[in-house]
Structure 1
Amino acid sequence: MEADLDHPEWEKLFDITLAKYGLGGGKYAKLADVLQLPGAKQPEPETTVGEMWEAYLEWKKTVVEETTFKEAFTTLSNALYGKVWNRKTNDYSQSDSNLSIVHLDNKTKIAIAIGDVKIYRKPYFVAELNRAFDFCKSKGMLVNPTTENPFVLDKFSTPAVTTQQKYASKIVNGEEKEWHEVLDEEELELDRRAFTKEERDIIIKAFYESTKSSDRVYAPLIEFYFLTGCRTSEALPLTWRDVDFERNLIRFSKSLGSSTRKVKDTKTGEARFFYFSDNSRLKELLLSLKIESSSNLVFPNKKTKFMSSSVIRNHWLGYKQNRTSVDGTEVEYIYPGIVRQLVEEGKISGYLSPYHTRHTYITLTAEANKHDNNALLYIATACGNSVDVILRHYLGLAESVSKGYTTRIKRADDQ
């Protein structure tokens, strides 16, 4: 209390209710009434966490991709406002914890509210609040410029994560999700584990020979992923104008947002060409699809629209669905996916996400060409990567490669 009264801006710091000093009750309660007599100038309350967050979002959506903003910040906003997913109503319900209404100068209440927030990757959530505070302070949005950042909380700093923890399933909004379902494309890009050549062939064959026609629909797309190493979002908006059978090339120049369902640039923002040979399996696959196609898209769904990445993932992994039986009881049905079944049957060593088809292609093709510097440069260019990344992260080498080009590389499907 003395420190606040001695401060040059004591009128802003001093709490007239004395609650800040633990003296808000009993005989001191009357003091607030005395100090709030008509004509007395009352201090303006500090900005709330919710007001800070909304101002930050208005700026943030102008500097990140629409898909990233929708996927990441919708989850963060729901956590901040205390919205929890209700599986029975398939909607959000309001919890008792609502961080948004707390004022930024109440560090104790903010720490308690953050502790009550239910969200996967809480350190990331707190880090984003930290950035939001710094943004608002830099824009002069705080009532009191001396208000300290309440989101510098050591107990929510990022802890060391073991491999077992990293790939364990997570509970998100009351639902259990696999590790890959809560990672974005950028994080999956950094997880460079791969299937073996034998496992790749087993997966492709399983999709083509599935007893379910709904699985077989996705077989050509899964094989295409394995044969090109493209990012999974880059194949979905591919049109026949992007495939040149005379020059034997595919032009990857766009991708499909998983949540917005809108066509956007590739991850690197650049178009790239992927070449294939006349007698390759890739050309054979594309020609067979072209003959049967009645759509402008190379991989359309049944309604000749874009395929859904989430539906593809369901056929790859499997999914659960709650249904209400005739007697009114809720029954959970489990629909196994192709890759999950293969893991359970012991036919492949472990589960990886559809995005790892990309890492599998790069790993197998780079290994087949590891002594050809020009070929490695071509692989990197065709996949929207760098030779340095291929050497260090796919081949485990630390050497550098001189730039050049090659007319022929050994592809994994040639082995």
Structure 2
Amino acid sequence: MYAKTQAIPETVKVQSDNGTLRLQFSTKYNPIFGGKRKHQGLGLKDTPENWQKAIAIAWRIEGDLQHPDWQQLFDPSFAKYGLKTKYAAELKLAAPIPEPEPEITVGEMWEDYLVWKQPQLQPTTFELLYRISYTNPIKGKVYDKKNRVYLMLDNPLWDERLDGKIIECLSRFTCCAATKRSIISALSEAFLRLQSQEKTKLRVNPFAGIDSSTTPNKTDKYKSVVNVDGTVDLRWWDKSDTETDPEERDRRAFTKEERDIIIKAFYESEKANVRQAAPLVEFLFLTGCRSGEAFALEWKDVFLGRDKDCIRFSKSYNGRLKNTQVPKTGETRIFKIYPKLENLLSKIKPVDAKPTDLIFKQQNSKTWYIGHFAKLWNTYELKCSQKTYTYPGVVTQLVEEGKISVYLSPYHTRHTFITLMAQAGTDLLLLAAACGNSVDVIQRHYLGINTEARFPDI
């Protein structure tokens, strides 16, 4: 074969076959050749002059096939291109050249992904995270806190095709960096699933390697050390945190003194509804259970006595969905009662309590839910006509008065319990089982790593 000295067509190429030249057609044209890949002999010997001639023929044929009116221009007998009849194929067009099917939109991919993902998640996690927190930014919905309405962004990612301007759409996300990272991870999983089903022609994941502009968590004590030369010093505790719940990932805690100040402030509040929540606040600090688990707890779940002396966490209440479901981990946990917790339960248990009575109820005897409970904890605003009234929450007010150092959400009652218990030397396996956690997580995130520890000489 002789070296080519000019550009060649992309879909109609010239080849040398046993000393003669032929045309090789791209698989794109298979439909017009009866569904098979086509080779067409030219009847020309493999010489430099014939290569130039063959390339010119290939250009003409490709130009006709790429033209919108190709069916009128393309000559399947090849006589139009100067080929003798005895070398021309007697062809009949089997079908028009199909236009490549456009890639589906991100929204179509996402909806299909949610149908697949839903059975794998707790109803609360699916509804609040995937259906709301993740789906709204993809749809271009931004919540206006001031007017309490959703605003729609132009050209949302939802309507973009997978081969479109993905990065540009993601750059317009207004959610926090952690949520954006989680969304990109879910979109990447959705694409890989689509790819495995051969529902996309893309070979490169458009969501892989995208910088979510996340800022490293300043509370992460175990971040790997990056050297000047770019190498990374991995410690033995370096391991990816697979927890996706942002409330679980932020494991900051109140001190024991701050915990006691908060509990006392609830009990001594001038407001009756705040005092009503005081036993609930103390219970959350003394058990480390999730708020929904405390909201759903009934007296039949508490076993007081020498032989049993435990609490059974087997369900969780979600106020937004207004349903009771299994706990986040899907498992029933047994929590051993200790003296301080026993004193609290004995103090608040009514004499005529029925097994199915809720342990913690609002003033109106309704079930607690996190939305209402959070209003007592944090500052909230109430709009009436043209005025806005601000009501400071207990913990917010304590921070403003300088009585505690930092504001943390109600969920941090859980992190406070685990931290204080772990630092007090509690058996980690007992603590992990009681809180629905793992010893590994407690060691890495609630306890300082003792790099000086050594095996004893035994």
- TM-score normalised by L of structure 2: 0.66
Report the Cα offset of residue 237 of structure 1.
0.5
Instruction: Indicate the residue corresponding to 1:263 in structure 2.
Output: 324
Structure 1 residue 204 and structure 2 residue 263: aligned? yes
- Name the counterpart of 1:149: 205
Picking from 191, 207, 227, the partner of 2:250 is 191
Partner of 2:85: none
DSSP 3-state at the match of 2:120: coil
Number of the residue aligned with 2:279: 220
Distance 1:48 1:202 in 2: 53
Question: Does 2:347 align with 1:288?
Answer: yes
2:394 maps to amino acid: I
| 1:44 maps onto 2:101 in alignment | yes
Q: How many residues are treated as equivalent by the alignment?
A: 349
Could you tell me which residue of structure 2 aligns to residue 352 of structure 1?
A: 408
Cα distance between partner residues in 1 of 2:283 and 2:310: 14
1:297–1:304 contact (8 Å) kept in structure 2: no
Query: Aligned partners of 1:400 and 1:323: how far apart in 2?
Result: 64
Question: Who is 1:382 aligned against?
Answer: 434
Q: Work out whether 1:140 is the aligned partner of 2:201.
A: no
Gaps of at least 5 residues in structure 1 are 13-30, 166-183, 326-330, 402-415
1:125 and 2:183 are equivalent in the alignment = yes
Cα distance change on mapping 1:233 and 1:48 into 2, 3 Å = same
> Considering only CA atoms, is the larger Rg found in Structure 1 or Structure 2?
2
Residue in 1 aligned with 2:420?
364
Deviation at 1:283, TM superposition (A): 2.5
> What pairs up with 1:1-150 in 2 under 5 angstroms?
5=11, 8-10=26-28, 34=69, 41-73=98-130, 74-87=132-145, 90-106=148-164, 109-121=165-177, 122-142=180-200, 145-146=201-202, 148-150=204-206
Structure 1 residue aligned with 2:218:
163
SS of the residue corresponding to residue 291 of structure 1 reads: coil
SS in structure 1 at match of 2:416: helix
Question: Greater helix share, 1 or 2?
Answer: 1
Letter paired with 2:106: V
Question: Hey, what does 1:343 align to over in structure 2?
Answer: 399
Which residue does the alignment assign to 1:234?
293
Superposed CA offset, 1:334-371 (max 9, x none):
21110111111011121122222222223333333x2x
Contact 1:70 1:259 in 2 (8 A): no
Tell me, what secondary structure is at the counterpart of 1:296? coil
Deviation at 1:222, TM superposition (A): 0.2
RMSD, aligned α-carbons:
3.5
> Residue type matched to 1:63 in 2?
Q
How many angstroms apart in 2 are the aligned matches of 1:258 and 1:2?
67
Report the alpha carbon displacement of residue 2 of structure 1 after superposing the two structures with TM: 8.3
Query: Against the structure 1 CA distance between its residues 273 and 77, is the aligned structure 2 distance closer, same or farther, given a 3 Å change threshold?
Result: closer
Residues 138/202 of structure 1: CA separation in 2 closer, same or farther (3 Å cut): same
1:343/1:350 contact within 8 Å kept: yes
1:110 maps to a residue whose letter is: I
- Aligned-partner residue type, residue 418 of structure 2: I
SS at match of 1:76: helix
Instruction: Give the superposition deviation at 1:41.
Output: 4.4
The one-letter amino acid of 1:260's match is L
Equivalent position SS for 2:176: coil
Change over 3 Å in CA distance of 1:161–1:58 after alignment to 2: same
The whole-number CA distance in structure 1 between the counterparts of 2:433 and 2:265 is 31
- Which amino acid is the alignment partner of residue 45 of structure 1? P
Cα offset for 1:157? 4.0
For 1:383 and 1:363, the matched residues in 2 are separated by: 12
Report Cα offsets for 1:207-261 as digits up to 9, x if no partner.
0111111211110100111122222222110001001223332111222235433
In structure 2, stretches of 5+ residues that fail to align are 1-6, 13-24, 31-65, 73-95, 221-242
Which residue does the alignment assign to 1:180?
none
Relative distance call for 1:191 and 1:263 in structure 2 (3 A) is: same
Q: Which residue of 2 aligns with 1:27?
A: none
Aligned residue type for 1:137: Q
Aligned to 2:229: none
Please list the CA deviations of residues 92-130 of structure 1 after superposition, one character each: whole Å capped at 9, or x if unmatched: 343212222222223xx3332222333323333223222
Change (3 A) 1:242 1:115: same
What is the DSSP-based 3-state SS (H/G/I as helix, E as strand, rest coil) of the residue aligned with 1:273? strand
Corresponding residue of 1:396: 448
Note the C-alpha offset of 1:315. 0.9
Matched position secondary structure for 2:143: strand
Q: Secondary structure at the residue paired with 1:193?
A: coil
Q: Could you say what secondary structure the match of 2:349 adopts? A: helix
CA distance in 2, matches of 1:388, 1:89: 44
User: Could you say what secondary structure the match of 2:119 adopts?
Assistant: coil
Taking structure 1 as reference, are residues 35 and 256 closer, same or farther at Cα in structure 2, changes over 3 Å only? farther
How many angstroms apart in 2 are the aligned matches of 1:101 and 1:32? 30
Contact preservation (8 Å) 1:105, 1:148: no
1:48 alignment partner AA: T
- CA 1:164–1:344 in 2, change beyond 3 Å: closer, same or farther? farther
